[in-house]
Structure 1
Amino acid sequence: MPNIGSILSSARSAISAHQVAMQTITQNIANAETPGYSRQRAELVPANPQRFPMYTVGTGVAVADVARLRNQFLDVSYRREAGRSEAYNVRTDLLGEIESLLNEPSETGLASTMDRFWSSWDDLANNPTNPTAQGVVRLRGEQVAYTLNGYDERLTELSNRTRAHLTGIITEVNTLGSQVATLNRQITAAEAGGQQSPDLRDTRDRIADQLSKLAGVQVQMQANGTMSVHFGSMMLVDAANARTLEVRNGTTTTIGYVGDPDPLHGIGGQAGEMMSFLNTDAPALRARLDSFARGLVNGVNEYHASGWTAAGDALGGSNWNTALGPTGSRINFFDAAGTSAATIRISAEVAADASVIAAGDVQNAPGNNTLALAMGALRDDVGMAALQTRMGASFGTLIGFGAAESFADHYTSTVTGLGVKASDAKSQYTVFETLTAQADNRRSSENGVSLDEELTLMLRHQQAYTAATRLVRVADEMAQSILNMV
């Protein structure tokens, strides 16, 4: 039968329960600005009642759990957008570095350097026997070669830095994956009694956020409270077990699990975009620069080897062919073996003596400037069409791009294409940065701490706590009254 003791017991349970609730609110307020913190709630439930033959009497209140308020669907949304945002951020940075590498438009860029090279041939055409004009042509040719060499060297440096950064990211992913596995084990042990471990879960979710940004992982919560982390169907973390990733550098850069020869697919975030740069963007730019260098070397040499210097035969008069007659100096302006951006260079003969640079295509005709004019004309598609007519079927193989596309057009399309990619990356980054912020705001509105809401709840629990203490006093007064009656 209910008695004064029952009243005291119910009041004490209320005092204890509301103390826990207020302590939880205090914890929320204290961590209002803590990154990744999820607000907590003391879940109050009626205590087990006392049952009598004709009725049931409550026995107070109990704390069922201190629960963490977290919406997994909002986490999934945030991590998806954050991974994409990080990917486009990296892409924007890398393409921006390539734009800086090419440095266009500028006086030191390849476009201006090529303009000066073609103009030097025009100047030589105006004065075919001038040694100074020949020296300027050699200098301008060297500048073209140095510019292309520099592009290739800096592109290699950028690729190496990116590869090293990718390796560092994968090392970090391995570390974070191991931490998730450890937390899975700790959470399973801590929650064996059926109660949540909010702080451990918050730590694990923060790590999952980082993994999403670094590698675009997918996260799935299991019924036993553990978190699995995977790339598509390939598991990185399963319960208390974590696998180790490695970067493999070969013809292409891939990522795989240690001990498993198959490469992983579906990697996103920063790591995914770095792989895309190393396997697609950097090789594509190098191929365009190499194509330019190959066409330039073969095109210029096609004319120059058939030309004659003011002295007649630059090699000392031994170019007669009994069947064909004189065939030109046969001196290449560029080294014929250097047909890539990395290897293009002035030929040894031209480097040693600028007087071997030919302006005409007729032997023993000092004023002839036909070859120099043809060289200068290569700056536009008319000159390229003339070169194609001259070379015939070998044009497509040796030059590598159509006659309708001049050297300037070829390089301009390279720079323009890069600019379009960079602009698109910036736009996409802006879009996904906004989507990430929106997803984070939605998540924070549910998971985060609202000081106004917490203070309101604190006031309610304080009032309930005060009422419970008054019940204790009432019960005490009732007990004293009974004692006084004895």
Structure 2
Amino acid sequence: MSLMTSFGVGVSGLNTAQNSLNATAHNLTNVDTKGYVRQQVLTVDKEYERTATLRYMDQTGHGSIVDKIRQLRDRFLDDSFRRESGRQGFYNAQAEIVTEVENLFGELQGTTFQSSMQDLWKSVQELQKEPESVVARTSLVETAGTFIERCHTITTQLKSLRQDINLKIENNVKRINEIGVRLDQINDEVRKEEVIGQSANDYRDERNKLLDELGSYVKVSYKEVKDGSVLVTVEGTQFVTEFGVNEIGLKTTDDELKLHTPVWNFDINDDKEPREVFNFDFPPTSAADTDIGSLKGLLLARGRQGRYTDIPVQPKPEDYEEGEDDEHYISAMRAFEQAKVNYNNTVAPSLLTNTEAQFDQLIHGLTTMINDILAPNLTATWTDGGVPVWKNSEGKVLEGDEIPNIDISDLEDYKIEEKDALGNPTGRYKVSILDVKNAPVSADKTKTPGNALFDRKSTPRYKELDVEMDGKKVMLYNSEDYDPNYEGSKYSMFSMGEIEVNKQIRENVSLIPLSYNTNTGDYSMDIAAKLNKVWDEKFAVLNPNTLTKNTFMEYYTAFTSEVANTGHTLKAMAKSQETTTQSVDNQRQQVLGTSSDEELTHMIKFQQAFNAASRYITVIDEMLEHVVTRLG
């Protein structure tokens, strides 16, 4: 090796040591910078000079060069952290919402909803003691009003909570798009830097920090291509591509709720609508990695508005002419089983939807059972060509003289086709009319029957027909029939937000029908007793997966217990995920984190290497000087 070549070896050592010192200093400068990843200089041998001899090929080294300055990351730990932090976000989002729901019912603090139910029950008990008492009647009306007002308050608060979640969804989508745009910009910067041989590690730090944040919102996957840019997919769909960003849009419902649904504007489904980002056909699970991302957690918890009709009711054989062998019963059971699957897949996983549906079922059951005592109906059911079966409000099949003296053909124009649990027509028809014969009447001079305690805001309870029965006009019950697929269909159910105390009874408590319809003016103790007995009746199951029917108080206890259990589970999952995420992050920080002590050790090592290279050059310089001055 010549002396001039030896100079080159020394200079390469200086350069290598200097670059290592610079990287170490950069690490020390950013030791407390969040998101910074430790950098390391990789050196390799320069090309060798090969000289052939008689026996072998001789090689002469030319020093070392810097191959690249790399970031110390573990791709596996990065993927694990982003997956687990996304799962933590999913459960955290729901745990926060279930806490809000628990507070709405005030079971842990404030005035509980259960106390409103108990107050209504107490007023009924007082009414049973003195049905003629104006004080007792007024108390019933007032407590009923307070009960409905509390129902409306909870309903309004649930809607407000849904709107808050809706806003969070909108903000999350906005932030996700901002991250996508910035990732695309960073990809351009990385390409520009690295194509000319410069290090773009600081841009990579920012990019990885953004990927960490994106992973908390949605399920992401990504890969780095040869030019240094990163391609990102969200929920299996391309998000950041080589050509730009496929931003997420929002599809908004046209009702008063204005609910947002994230969609891919660039992709159209079979219905010519933008394809939704998330698929909620099945409940999210950890096994399938479908429980990832706070955005998905918010969407799942928010759901849509829940109604009591979302809870399928198992058909009863006694409601069919041939019992369990009736083809309509068999068909209804098949529909119920499918509706139960749909409930478990779409309604039950949504915290707000399920809460509203179960709460609505409680309110619907209580108001309709009280109404059916004060204003009882007779209901006929039949199939085409079949014989009508009449039942009273208690479900008893009427026979002989009990059957209403009316031709069913006179009610043909007012029949309603029943629907199964899936909302499909069953081929059975029904019609309900006021049971004038057994209905109690008001205490005033009019002796009016059919005054229910609770009304629907948009629909009166009865419609007077030009049809007579026993010399009196038939009062047709306006059924709770609603077809969301029919544009002209009006929502007229005894449901949250639709119920109010009868305005006429509010103005005149004597209109509460508690008297016999025998024109004697005597008060019916039986009616007051039936009202009191309502609280002991088993009226509904909490959901289609249980068989046990509950009284109103039992139902509310089971309802609040389910909310509490759901909250406990979600909070436990969130806590567990927080521990898992922190554990993975700790492992990750051991790889990418910067230790000042370790870097100072490296600085001493590279300083010594620099000094050694300097001393090497000094020696070569002295040798060259000796050759020139002494031998020149």
Q: By the TM > 0.5 criterion, same fold? A: yes
Which is worse superposed, 183-192 or 156-165?
183-192
1:119 CA displacement: 0.8
Q: Which amino acid aligns with 1:375?
A: L
Paired with 2:109 and 2:61, the residues of 1 have a C-alpha distance of: 84
Aligned residue in 2 for 1:133? 136
Match among 237, 243, 257 for residue 264 of structure 2: 257
Q: Give 1 or 2: higher strand fraction.
A: 2
Residue number among 264, 275, 294 corresponding to 2:364 in the alignment: 294
The answer to whether the aligner puts 1:472 opposite 2:628 as a matched pair is no
The one-letter amino acid of 2:19's match is V
1:457 deviates by 1.5
- The match for 1:156 is 159
In structure 2, the residue matched to 1:147 is: 150
What pairs with 1:105-144 in structure 2 (closer than 5 Å)? 105=108, 108-144=111-147
2:300 paired residue number: 276
Distance in 1 separating the partners of 2:158 and 2:208: 38
Shift of 1:254: 2.9
User: Which letter does structure 2 place at the counterpart of 1:160?
Assistant: Q
Report the 3-state secondary structure (helix = DSSP H, G, I; strand = E; otherwise coil) of the residue aligned with 1:335: strand
Take 1:25 and 1:441, find their aligned partners in 2: how far apart are those partners? 22
Q: Distance in 2 between matches of 1:481 and 1:22?
A: 33
Matched residue, 2:510: 355
Q: Aligned with 1:220: secondary structure?
A: strand
Give 1:68 deviation, angstroms: 1.5
SS of 2:498's partner is: coil
What is the root-mean-square deviation of aligned Cα atoms in Å?
2.7
The Cα offsets for residues 428-472 of structure 1, whole Å up to 9 and x where unpaired, read as: 111111111111112111122122322221111111111122223
Question: Quick one: which amino acid aligns to residue 60 of structure 2?
Answer: V
Distance 1:202 1:450, change over 3 A: same
Which residue number in structure 1 is paired with residue 526 of structure 2?
370
The reply on whether 1:444 has 2:589 as its aligned counterpart is yes
1:47 corresponding residue in structure 2: 46
Contact map agreement 1:182 1:240 (CA 8 A) in 2 = no
Q: Hey, what's the Cα distance between the residues in 2 that align with 1:141 and 1:196?
A: 74
Does 1:314 pair with 2:443?
yes
Q: Letter of the 1:81 partner, please give it.
A: E
How much does 1:235 deviate? 0.7
User: Unaligned stretches of 5+ in structure 1?
Assistant: 320-328, 386-394
Q: Does 1:456 align with 2:601?
A: yes
SS in 1 for 2:276: coil
- Of 372, 376, 379, the residue aligned with 2:535 is 379
Alignment-derived partner of residue 243 in structure 1: 246
Name structure 2 gaps, 5 residues minimum: 268-273, 280-289, 304-349, 377-435, 460-492
Distance in 1 (CA, whole Å) between partners of 2:517 and 2:576 is 63
Counterpart in the other structure of 1:179? 182
**Which residue number corresponds to residue 416 of structure 2?**
none
**Distance apart, 1:214 and its partner CA:** 1.3
Contact 2:120 2:140 in 1 (8 A): yes
Mapped to 2, the partners of 1:73 and 1:239 lie a distance apart of 24
- 1:96 offset after TM fit, Å? 1.1
Report which stretch shifted further, 204-213 or 474-483.
474-483
Hey, what does 2:569 align to over in structure 1? 424
Query: Separation in 1 of the partners of 2:191 and 2:442?
Result: 88
Query: Quick check: 272-281 or 101-110, which moved more?
Result: 101-110
1:92 aligns with 2:95: yes
**Stretch moving more, 453-462 or 109-118:** 453-462
Q: What is the CA deviation profile of residues 156-180 of structure 1, one whole-angstrom value per residue up to 9, with x for unaligned ones?
A: 1111111121011111111111111
- Name the SS for the 1:63 alignment partner: strand
Rounded Cα–Cα distance in structure 1 between residues aligned with 2:6 and 2:299: 69
Structure 1 vs Structure 2: percent identity of aligned residues? 23
Q: Which residue is 2:194 aligned to?
A: 191
Equivalent of 2:451, from 331, 337, 350? 331
TM-score (norm: length of structure 1): 0.87
Q: Which amino acid aligns with 1:128?
A: P
Residue 208 (structure 2) pairs with residue 205 (structure 1): yes
Q: How do 1:5-84 residues align onto structure 2 when only pairs under 5 Å count?
A: 5-54=4-53, 55-84=58-87
**Is the contact made by 2:261 and 2:276 (CA closer than 8 Å) also made in structure 1?**
yes
Q: C-alpha deviations, 1:135-164, integer Å up to 9, x for none?
A: 211111011101111111111111111112
| Deviates most, 132-141 or 466-475 | 466-475
What is the letter of the counterpart of residue 358 of structure 2? R
2:379 equivalent in structure 1:
none
Work out the CA distance in 2 between the residues paired with 1:366 and 1:455: 100
How many residues align structurally?
A: 458
SS of structure 2 residue aligned to 1:139: helix
Does residue 1:230 correspond to 2:233, yes or no? yes
SS at match of 2:500: coil
- Residue by residue over 1:274-300, the C-alpha shift from the partner in whole angstroms, topping out at 9 and shown as x without a partner, is 111222322222222222222122111
Query: Partner of 1:414: helix, strand, or coil?
Result: helix
Cα deviation 1:49-77 (Å, max 9, x = unaligned): 34444533322221121111222221111
Q: Is the 8 A contact 1:76 1:219 kept in 2?
A: no
1:391-450 C-alpha deviation (Å, 9 max, x unpaired): xxxx99xxxx99942122222222122111111111111111111111111211112212
For 1:341, the equivalent position in structure 2 comes to 496
Hey, what does 1:413 align to over in structure 2? 558
Q: Secondary structure at the match of 1:378?
A: helix
Q: 2:110 & 2:209 partners in 1: Cα distance?
A: 48
Report the secondary structure of 2:499's partner residue. coil
C-alpha contact (below 8 Å) 1:79/1:212 kept by paired residues: yes
* Contact 1:360-1:372 at 8 Å conserved across structures: no
Query: 1:349-404 deviations in whole A, cap 9, x for unaligned?
Result: 221123333556576465653322322232223xx47xxxxxxxxx99xxxx9994
Q: CA deviation at 1:191?
A: 1.8
Change (3 A) 1:483 1:355: same
Over 3 Å counting, the alpha-carbon distance change for 1:411 and 1:249 in structure 2 is: farther
Deviation of 1:98 after TM superposition, in Å, equals 1.1
Which segment is superposed worse, 12-21 or 358-367? 358-367
Alpha-carbon separation, structure 2, partners of 1:257 and 1:297: 44
- Larger mean CA deviation between 367-376 and 112-121 belongs to 367-376
Contact 1:91 1:425 in 2 (8 A): yes
Give 3-state SS (helix, strand or coil) of 1:345's partner: strand
Aligned-partner Cα distance in 2 for 1:6–1:259: 61
Higher relative CO (Cα under 8 Å, sequence separation at least 6) belongs to 1
User: Normalising by the residue count of structure 2, what TM-score does the alignment of the two structures yield?
Assistant: 0.68
Amino acid in structure 2 at the alignment position of 1:333: L
